[in-house]
Structure 1
Amino acid sequence: MEKMNQAFEKMKMLVGVEVDDEASTATINDDNSSWFMDDFNRNCTLSTKQSMLVFFNPIKFGIAFTLGNMLSLGSTAFLVGPKRQVTMMLDPVRIYATAIYLASMIFALFCALYVHNKLLTLLALILEFGALIWYSLSYIPFARTMVSRVMVACLDTEF
């Protein structure tokens, strides 16, 4: 526990929070550690306008979200190699998920950059997010089957 307290003190000093000499030699009580977490949480919050960027400006968010998805595909290609990435994406198990995911990214960019319709861009983003989830589940064995069964069970109206 003492080492953890010393680590908190060093972290506070690195971040720039002033530490009095008395607190650095003594152990951190719950008030100080909760103060640090409260301060950390207060600095890491978004305003209401920032968190609702999707609804206020879906075109700007759509471009950023789609480019982020393209970067994530590029980063996995960097990690496993481009040839292996394309081979995995074109695997018969996930070829349809890959096609829908890539098509949804193209559609979202088309709606955001060419059409400039906020509602259509928002719908394209919802489609892209769903395609991203389905594509990601294709890498986990039996995940799509499990999700499909859970959704059918949840949406089943017969008693």
Structure 2
Amino acid sequence: MSRTMRSLNSLLGGGVEEEEEEESDGRCGLSYQERIYGFAACLAGGLLCTLLSLLLIFRPIKFAVTFTFGNLLSLASTAFLVGPMRQVNMMFDPARIVASIIFIGSIVIALVCALYIHNRLLTLLAIIIEFCALIWYSLSYIPFARATARKCMGTCFEVEF
């Protein structure tokens, strides 16, 4: 393993001696390099889908499907780094459980509204909720980010949280 890969591995919480334990910690037996490739591929695909969805903004149903698929790929990318079980455990941590449930629920609702109901207004509403839940969920990983966001929103809308 190269020096750069070892440095990256230690930053992600791994170690060379941990390669044998990968199957037991929920990473499906993938090597460190395979996990990085999986992460990069899913993240790039997710970002590409999300950016492409902007071209479909005036076609709400196609926009919803593309945007939601991009979010799912981006979320899956982090499972390559920490393992699927740890990802699920982190998502349902008490600090994130509400945002995770709203995010997953809005993904399901957006896809149902887009693919089965074909209602543009409900699809857009679900996408807005999905986007807000994704932001709130993402902020939970940054120290003091949620408190700062609450303060900014309170200042902007003159509301106390």
TM-score bracket, shorter-length normalisation: 0.5 to 0.7
Listed as ranges, the matches of 1:62-141 within 5 Å are 62-141=64-143
Q: Percent same amino acid among aligned pairs?
A: 62
Quick check: which has more Rg, 1 or 2? 1
Aligned counterpart, 2:56: 53
Aligned residues: 107
In 2, the alpha carbon distance for the partners of 1:123 and 1:51 equals 16
Aligned counterpart, 2:152: 150
TM-aligned CA deviation for residue 87 of structure 1: 1.2
Aligned counterpart, 2:40: none
The superposition leaves residues 37-83 of structure 1 with CA deviations (integer Å, 9 ceiling, x where unpaired) of xxxxxxxxxxxxx955212x110110111111111111111121111
In 2, the alpha carbon distance for the partners of 1:66 and 1:131 equals 12
Q: TM-score, normalised by structure 2?
A: 0.62
Structure 1 portions without partners, runs of 5+: 1-49
CA RMSD between the two structures: 1.6
TM-aligned CA deviation for residue 130 of structure 1: 0.9
Aligned counterpart, 1:14: none
In 2, the alpha carbon distance for the partners of 1:85 and 1:112 equals 27
Rate the CA distance shift 1:142–1:51 in 2: closer, same or farther, 3 A: closer
| 2:107–2:130 Cα contact (<8 Å) kept | yes
Q: TM-score, normalised by structure 1?
A: 0.63
Rate the CA distance shift 1:51–1:103 in 2: closer, same or farther, 3 A: closer
